[in-house]
Amino acid sequence: MYSIIDGKPNSVFKMIVSVLGNVAEMEREYLRERQRQGIDIAKAKGTYKGRLFGSKRIVSNLNIVKVS
């Protein structure tokens, strides 16, 4: 890993990037777990419908296009 400041190898920079990457990964896993719990609760109540059949979102050139 090279730091942005001087373009030379920097072990502290490498460690910080590694830690931040791991934190982001853990947060994503936690988010998915909470989402799954919410979906399970909604299904138990009978209010979960999911995505409508045939609806799809396509990301193209940083523009979100809804295809129906």
Q: Where are the domains of the chain?
A: 11-67
50 confidence band (pLDDT: 50, 70, 90): confident
Residues 6+ apart with CB under 8 A from 64: 57, 58
Q: Is residue 58 over pLDDT 80?
A: no
Neighbours of 13 (CB within 10 A): 16
For 24-45, the pLDDT digits (tens) are 999 999 999 999 999 999 999 9
